[in-house]
A = this chain, B = another copy of it.
Amino acid sequence: MEVDTIVQDGVGEDGPPAHAERRIDRVLLLVAMEAEALPMVERLGLVKDETLIAPPASCVTYISQDGRICLTYYGKCPNTGMCSVGTVPAALYTYLAVQAFKPDLVISTGTAGGFRARGAAIGDVFVASATVNHDRRIAIPGFDAYGIGKLQCVAAPRMRKDLGLKFGCCSSGNSLDWHDTDMKLMLEHEAAVKEMEAASVAWVSSMFGTPLMCVKAITDIVDGDQPAHEEFLTNLAAAAEAMQGVVPRVVTYVMGKQIKDLY
């Protein structure tokens, strides 16, 4: 399969938005790692909250003083002390945070790999057209689609244009690297972005009927020649800074608008 076409802004959107009339008065930001979350917490002036989500959940929650912005990051794994990356904590903490905060819009944000063939460079920020899974292969009719779990996101073409953000499919898997079989699935779904959480955030958000936007900053090039873990560690701080700039602008942009105003 060839992936030499750069996806142009607006191409690949699936017509009019779902939840078009929904007014965005409460926004939930979901982030995997503390290093990604804390710069945004500071820039947005959020305050730690210890009442919204009770233990033993080890996620960490911050709220704005007006109560309209909530940020939850997935906290430390109680067994290893590492940041709880991957689809499992993402699903669990999305459920608990959406249940408790009742947002009008969920935004899954953080760092990601980007496909050079789809126009990604380090430090870029992408908005997702849809989320898929590339590591859930189940070759039984019906289960194959469940495994991929493709779900449309709030593509927000007007917002992307106004804020200068890139666009493409976001593919999630539980490994930082990729295997040939992962790559085959990512190419089939024309992935522009590869990360480790969004598809499970999407699955849980869809369960609540809450629209999801994904905003991902590129730390490493998936179809480049450096191993993901090396580029990731080198560029994490730069990408966190890009997010610190963009995510508050996204939140300000969407707040008080209807979903259709983003189109």
- Chain A positions near chain B (C-beta within 8 angstroms): 56-58, 77-89, 91-92, 95-96, 133, 135-140, 142-143, 145-147, 149, 151, 173-177, 179-181, 200, 203-204, 206-209, 227, 229, 232-233
Contact = CB atoms under 8 A, between A and B. Distances in A.
A167 B137 CA distance: 27
A89 B136 CA distance: 13
A85 B133 CA distance: 14
Given A140-B229, A204-B92, A207-B58, A133 B78 contact: no
B181 A143 contact: no
A219 to B, nearest CB: 12
Given A77-B146, A79-B151, A136 B174 contact: yes
A91 B18 CA distance: 28
A210 to B, nearest CB: 10
Contacts of A177: 137, 139
Given A88-B203, A91-B91, A139-B227, A179 B181 contact: yes
B174 A147 contact: yes
Nearest to A202: B79
A210 B207 CA distance: 27
Closest 7 CB pairs of A and B: A137-B175, A82-B146, A136-B174, A80-B146, A88-B91, A56-B207, A138-B176
Contact of A86 (B57, B136, B142, B229): B136
Contacts of A147: 86, 174-175
Contact of A203 (B79, B96, B133, B232): B79
Given A88-B91, A135-B174, A200-B88, A206 B79 contact: yes
B87 A87 contact: yes
Contact of A207 (B78, B87, B146): B78
B139 A176 contact: yes
Contacts of A209: 56
Contacts of A92: 91-92, 95, 204
A145 B88 contact: no
A91 to B, nearest CB: 4
A175 B78 contact: no
Contacts of A207: 56-58, 78
A76 B232 CA distance: 36
A207 B173 CA distance: 23
B174 A85 contact: no
Given A58-B207, A91-B91, 12 more contacts: A56-B207, A79-B149, A79-B151, A79-B203, A80-B149, A82-B143, A84-B146, A87-B87, A92-B95, A92-B204, A140-B176, A140-B229
